[in-house]
C-alpha cells in the first residue's frame, strides 16, 4: 500500500490476568508498523492482577494505552475506545484470543482490496485447559451441530460476504454513519451493530485465512453459564427493539420448548408423551452420530462419551436461556445487564 493507514486496536477487558499478556504479546509481535498503530486496552476496573500487567505493557510500549471503563460492560468499552481512537481504521479484538503476526496487515489489506466496511476472520477454537472436557468443548464449538452456519466458528473455504465476522476491523467513518454500539445489549452489541451496518448498505467480509486462536470455556459449569447467557441474549434483545439474532440462535429455543410442551401435555395425554420420547430419541441418535464422526476423524475414543454431553449442554443451556430471555421481556425494567448477567 502506498499509504499505510493508522490503526487503533481496542481490547475490552476485565479481570483477564490469565490471558491479557499473551493477547498483547501477539499484537506486539505483529508485522504492522508500530508508528502507525495504537492499542487501547479498555479496562473495566479489574479487581485481579490485570491492571498491573497492562500498566507494565503501557510503560514499555508507547503505543499501548490503558483507558478506564467505569460501566464495566463490553459495549461501553468498545464505545470508549472508538471515541478515543485516533486511527482511520478501528479494530476490536478479544483479550481471550491470540493473533498471528500478519493479523493486522491482512485485515487492513482485505478492507481496502474488497472496499468492505468491516473485515474479520474465523476462530480457531482451542481448549483453555489440557483436559478431556475442555478439548471436547473446543471440538464441539467448531462443528455445525453446535454452531449452525456461524462461519466464524465452523470456517469457510474462501472469503465471503457475511452477517458478522470475528472480531471486526472497521473504517472509522462507519461509526459516524451507523452510530456507536448499543450499550443496552451487553451480550449482543456486536451482532446488533453489524445488523445495523448491513441494513444501511454496509459490507462485512469474512476471510478464512485470517485466523484467531480463541480459548473456549474450560469446563461444563462455565460452558453452561456461557451458553445460558447467550440464549438469554438471543431473545432478550427484542426488549430493546434490536434484530441481533439469526435463525440458528432460535433453534435451541424451539428444541427445548418442544420438550417442555410435549412432556407437560404427556402428563394428561399419553400420545404427547410418546412425542416427547420421540424427540428425545431422534436428538440422541443425531447427537451420537455426530459425536462418533468426530471421534473417528480425530481418532480419539474419548469423544464418544464427552461430545454427547457437551452438545446437549450447549443446546439445553442455550434453549433454556432463550426462554428466560422471553420471560424477562415481560418484566418491567432491565434485569440482565452483563454478558453473563455480570460485568464484562
Measure the CA–CA gap between 230 and 340, rounded to whole angstroms: 8
Domain, as residue range, for 322: 225-330
On whether residue 2 sits in a domain, the answer given is no
* Same domain as 39, residue 136: yes
Residue 280, classed as helix, strand or coil, is helix
Helix (H, G, I), strand (E, B) or coil at 215: strand
Give the integer Cα–Cα distance in Å for 195 and 242.
9
Count of domains observed in the chain: 2
How far, in Å, CA of 24 to CA of 28, rounded? 6
Pair 30, 102 in one domain: yes
Looking at every residue in the chain, the average pLDDT score rounds to 92
Q: Note whether residue 157 is domain-resident.
A: yes
* Listed residues 217, 233, 251: the one ending a domain: 217
Domain boundary among 167, 189, 217: 217
State how far Cα 292 lies from the chain centre. 27
User: Does residue 187 belong to any structural domain of this protein?
Assistant: yes
Q: Is residue 67 located within the same domain as residue 179?
A: yes
pLDDT in tens, 205-250: 999 999 999 999 999 999 999 999 999 999 998 998 888 777 788 8
Do 17 and 54 fall into the same domain?
yes
The pLDDT score that the predictor gives to residue 167 is: 85
- Same-domain pairing of 250 and 282: yes
Q: pLDDT (tens digit, 9 = 90+) per residue, 24-44? A: 999 999 999 999 999 999 999
Q: Is residue 124 part of a domain?
A: yes
Worst-scoring range by mean pLDDT, 81-90, 177-186, 218-227?
Answer: 177-186
Task: Give the whole-angstrom CA distance, residue 276 versus residue 283.
Answer: 11
CATH number at residue 113: 3.90.550.10
| C-alpha separations of 214 from 99, 166, 223, 252 in Å | 9, 10, 14, 23
Amino acid at each position: 500500500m502506498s499509504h499505510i493507514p493508522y490503526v487503533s486496536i481496542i481490547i475490552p477487558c476485565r479481570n483477564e490476568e490469565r490471558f491479557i499478556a499473551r493477547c498483547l504479546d501477539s499484537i506486539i509481535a505483529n508485522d504492522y508498523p508500530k508508528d502507525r498503530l495504537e492499542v487501547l486496552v479498555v479496562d473495566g476496573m479489574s479487581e485481579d492482577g490485570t491492571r498491573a500487567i497492562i500498566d507494565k505493557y503501557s510503560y514499555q510500549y508507547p503505543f499501548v494505552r490503558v483507558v478506564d471503563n467505569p460501566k464495566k460492560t463490553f459495549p461501553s468499552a468498545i464505545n470508549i475506545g472508538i471515541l478515543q481512537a485516533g486511527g482511520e481504521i478501528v479494530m476490536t479484538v478479544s483479550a481471550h484470543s491470540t493473533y498471528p503476526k500478519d493479523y493486522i496487515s491482512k485485515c487492513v489489506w482485505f478492507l481496502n482490496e474488497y472496499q468492505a466496511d468491516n473485515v474479520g476472520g474465523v476462530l480457531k477454537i482451542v481448549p483453555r485447559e489440557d483436559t478431556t472436557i475442555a478439548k471436547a468443548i473446543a471440538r464441539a464449538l467448531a462443528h455445525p451441530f453446535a454452531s449452525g452456519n456461524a462461519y466464524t466458528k465452523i470456517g469457510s473455504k474462501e472469503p465471503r460476504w457475511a452477517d458478522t465476522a470475528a472480531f471486526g476491523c472497521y473504517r472509522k467513518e462507519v461509526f459516524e454513519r451507523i452510530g456507536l454500539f448499543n450499550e443496552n445489549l451487553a451480550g449482543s452489541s456486536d451482532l446488533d451493530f453489524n445488523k445495523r451496518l448491513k441494513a444501511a448498505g454496509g459490507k462485512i467480509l469474512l476471510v478464512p485465512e485470517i485466523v484467531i486462536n480463541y480459548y473456549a470455556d474450560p469446563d461444563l459449569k462455565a460452558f453452561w453459564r456461557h451458553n445460558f447467557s447467550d440464549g438469554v441474549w438471543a431473545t432478550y434483545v427484542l426488549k430493546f427493539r434490536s434484530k441481533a439474532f439469526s435463525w440458528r440462535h432460535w433453534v435451541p429455543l424451539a428444541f427445548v420448548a418442544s420438550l417442555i410442551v410435549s412432556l407437560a401435555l404427556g402428563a394428561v395425554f399419553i400420545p404427547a408423551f410418546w412425542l416427547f420420547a420421540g424427540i428425545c430419541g431422534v436428538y440422541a441418535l443425531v447427537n451420537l452420530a455426530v459425536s462418533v464422526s468426530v471421534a473417528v476423524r480425530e481418532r480419539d475414543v474419548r469423544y464418544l462419551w464427552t461430545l454427547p454431553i457437551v452438545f446437549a449442554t450447549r443446546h439445553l443451556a442455550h434453549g433454556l436461556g432463550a426462554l428466560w430471555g422471553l420471560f424477562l421481556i415481560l418484566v418491567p425494567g432491565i434485569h440482565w445487564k452483563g454478558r453473563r448477567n455480570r460485568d464484562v
